[in-house]
Structure 1
Amino acid sequence: MTASVHDLITLSPKDSCNTKLAAGPWDFDTVPGYGPGSSQADRLPDPVSRPGQLPERYQLMPEPELQERILAAKATLGEELVILGHFYQRDEVIAHADFVGDSFQLANAALSKPEAKTIVFCGVHFMAETADILSAPEQAVILPNLAAGCSMADMADESSVETAWEEICETYGVDPENTLPDAEGKLSILPVTYMNSSAALKAFCGRHGGIVCTSSNASTVLEWAFERAHRVLFFPDQHLGRNTAKAMGVPLEQMPLWNPRKALGGNTAEQLREAKVLLWHGFCSVHRRFTVDQISQARAADPGVKIIVHPECPMPVVDAADAAGSTDAIQKFIAACAPGDRIGVGTEINMVNRLAAQFPDRTIFCLDPVICPCSTMYRIHPGYLAWVLEELVAGEVHNQVSVEPEVSVHAKVALDRMLAAKPKA
């Protein structure tokens, strides 16, 4: 089985994307950027400031004491607390989650506990924002470490998307308010944002007739959009958009890339008029690491190996794999495999390791030999979880994520459309 993140401290530099990952994440909370790991070279928008904070006593606590404190606080808080954990979280955090899942499942889980006064979201910033939008007004949403952002989400900021939208609508000769259908009863274009985006961009979609998607329901969402519009502006992840639309039969030449730093996104007006899906120039740093060569090497070592990757991987990687799907789909794919099967997986290492432990009768390995967890998910450490829970017991709420009402109301429109767009079986 691939080495776990906890083995990083003993790995040589060639085995890890950054050996600093072995340090406590609090060491990097006040340093500009996303911290050590696979997204360390990502371009930061200006400005991005989500400083984390953790009292020193929690930084120095041994792991067993942190675990005991978390359990004790959970017992005291009882039904007033619900903890949500994304698949990519480290095992020591997932152990305390009441719900574990992908972004679509956790969005639904946030709705399922109306009696909970507090939702602690062990994920990243945009997930906590979504939980706040969907939860009841009296519920508080906490992100244990406010420095847990998402480099992909930050690749599409509100200003850049607004500017792009104005250029696009001018090219198509339509009102930017996007409310008037043509003779066919369709709009010229609809915005679709991936869940991995800010609340402001979800609100942008809500205001302009658009919708949010997850990797679970992306094809359902695109079908919804094409019933209502001739084209889609898909952001921020170009790979999910391209892979999903290609599987639906959209030709690649009708999926131009929109680079927000170039006029018309780097395209001609004719290319935009012929487009079916405009793909924002964004990506996931973890999933961009996977390559066709890695798949070829796995097949050379074992021609019978099964390969499944996340649809945030580049198109050639998805095409070379046996299957592609969301984190939940990957889990179901592996569960359906037979004992003795060898399965190469193209997604985040914490999840791969957890699946390998869950199915010891199968050989499950990460296609990327270099250990690179999602460096921002990795910032949720048991120390932060213990701290925010013990503060709740003391009657103090720390690291609450609150979306402004004028943003929340429009974002909820787009999110409700997403929740109604059920993933395909």
Structure 2
Amino acid sequence: MTLIDDRAPASVARTIAGISNGELSGSTCAPELTEGPWAFDLGMPGYGPGASQGDLLPAGSAAQGELPERYRRASGEELSSWIASAKASLGSRVAVMGHFYQRDEVVQYADFVGDSFQLARAARELPDAEAIVFCGVHFMAETADILTGPSQAVILPNLAAGCSMADMADIDSVEECWAELEARFGTSPDESGRVPVTPVTYMNSSAALKAFCGEHGGIVCTSSNASTVLEWAFERGQRVLFFPDQHLGRNTAKAMGVPLSTMPLWNPAKAGGGLSGEALDASRVILWNGFCSVHKRFTVSQISAARAAHPGVRVIVHPECPMEVVDAADSAGSTDYIVKAIAAAPAGSVFAIGTEINLVQRLAADYPQHEIFCLDSVVCPCSTMYRIHPAYLAWVLEELVAGRVVNQISVPSRVAAGARVALERMLAARPDTTMAA
């Protein structure tokens, strides 16, 4: 059964349902998207339908238990009523965070909506909230737990909302890479005090990798502040190990003038990362072989088609897109950058956007004075963001009203200590708001 809130007529869920039942023309990347996410909670072989459906889910990944039948059978109206009632009862004791990529049916209940950088700041600035319900994915909830107080509970409505990109870099593989780099370059700083390698992890990574960076003089970055963070890292290191997203690392460093020839790609599945000693010696940024399956879908041919069909269109893409796509676009930036660019544009502007479909469709509804469409015409949301549904939100909130905390995300104190160091460095590295790539 598909549950759609009637107050969100332009939502991706409604679009997918309309395409599937023949009411709308178009295409979806997986017909299973019309099913409730709970259909994949038990015995799920992968991330679920959506952009990451072909990615390999590591053994031991978090799984969500069966959602109580009451919530699985509820109508959109019933869920809305339950959520509103629970939020009213809980008041300021609970804050609901909603990432830009969440479906509209969830975002409408969020007290804070933003990208990972903004939500990390918001979580840290809510010391009086007893619980933070994070409508995002697992690494975001981990970050919120690290940055909030020990008496605060961070809750992820669906434990299966992970991130395939984050899973492409595990702590064992990174530590093995680090050991090989130390064996080659040593650990002694040069005459200017810069160490041989500084680790930088993207926010889209596990708490263990954030802790690794904190313990090895490194830092966390987001798509909002990646260039600021790389500048920070270059001041302290002769080269950077950047993981897990190769595209954000490559696009950011290239925009800063770093030659592509000095950005080798480390493949953890190959001995020595598949790199020669000469490539490592010449490196400025060692990129990890990871990617976002949503942003990997965008192509130069899609941009060419958009320009042919809409002369004067402004193409904006996320820096997680492949380099060729970023180069072909008019500009690239974080989700916050995209939102602000559209908000500042004169009426009648035409935008082709290369990022997650939920945000694009919401922007099109929020800014009717513009024509806004997604570069990828196939409706294919982020598999794991789509695992969050109003039914799970209603469940965790009503459990809180009853005095029970379910789906709490707790990072072990030893890991949290190192990760907090790297995250605080990230939060101090304020984004360059003029950055357009």
Q: Distance in 2 between matches of 1:317 and 1:96?
A: 34
Q: CA RMSD in A?
A: 1.4
**SS of alignment partner, residue 137 of structure 1:** coil
- Cα deviation digits, residues 116-154 of structure 1 (max 9, x gap): 100000000000000000001110000000010000000
Q: Distance in 2 between matches of 1:68 and 1:3?
A: 19
Give 3-state SS (helix, strand or coil) of 2:199's partner: strand
Are residues 1:132 and 2:138 paired? no
Name the structure 1 match of 2:161.
148
For 2:306, which of 298, 306, 324 is the aligned residue? 298
* CA contact 2:291–2:320 (8 Å) conserved in 1: yes
Paired with 1:338 and 1:4, the residues of 2 have a C-alpha distance of 26
Does residue 1:29 correspond to 2:44, yes or no? no
Matched residue, 1:264 = 272
Q: How many residues align?
A: 420
| Cα drift, residue 413 of structure 1 | 0.2
TM-score by length of 2: 0.94
Counterpart of 1:324 (choices 321, 332, 344) is 332
In the alignment, structure 1 segments of 5+ residues that lack a partner are none
Query: Structure 1 length as normaliser, TM-score?
Result: 0.97
Task: Pick from 74, 77, 88 the counterpart of residue 64 of structure 1.
Answer: 77
2:100 to 82, 87, 96: 87
Q: 1:102 aligns with which of 103, 115, 135?
A: 115
Whether the 8 Å CA contact 1:6–1:22 is kept in 2: the answer is: no
Q: Aligned to 2:109, what secondary structure does the other structure show?
A: coil
* Match runs of 1:16-415 below 5 Å: 16-30=28-42, 31-172=44-185, 174-175=186-187, 180-415=188-423
Per-residue CA deviations over 1:348-396 (Å, capped at 9, x if unaligned) read 0000011001100100000000001111000110000000000000000
C-alpha distance in 2, partners of 1:144/1:44?
20
CA–CA distance in 1 between the matches of 2:191 and 2:343?
Answer: 48
| Distance in 1, Cα, partners of 2:13 & 2:301 | 23
| Residue deviations 1:155-198 (CA, integer Å, cap 9, x gap) | 001111111111111121x14xxxx4222211000100000000
Q: Distance in 2 between matches of 1:6 and 1:165?
A: 46
Deviation track 1:199-247 (CA, whole Å, cap 9, x = no partner) reads 0000000010000000000000000000000100000000000000000
2:279 counterpart letter in structure 1:
Q
Q: 1:232 to 1:387 in 2, by over 3 A?
A: same
SS in 1 for 2:373: strand
How far, CA to CA, are the matches of 1:190 and 1:4 in structure 2?
A: 40
Pick from 394, 399, 419: which aligns with 2:427? 419
Q: Tell which deviates more after alignment, 7-16 or 374-383.
A: 7-16
Deviations 1:264-305 (A, max 9, x none): 111101100100000000000000000000000000112200
Higher alpha-carbon deviation: 414-423 or 330-339:
330-339
Q: Distance in 2 between matches of 1:77 and 1:5?
A: 28
Give CA deviations for 1:16-43 in whole Å, capped at 9, x if unaligned.
1101101000101121210011101112
Q: Distance in 1 between matches of 2:328 and 2:339?
A: 19
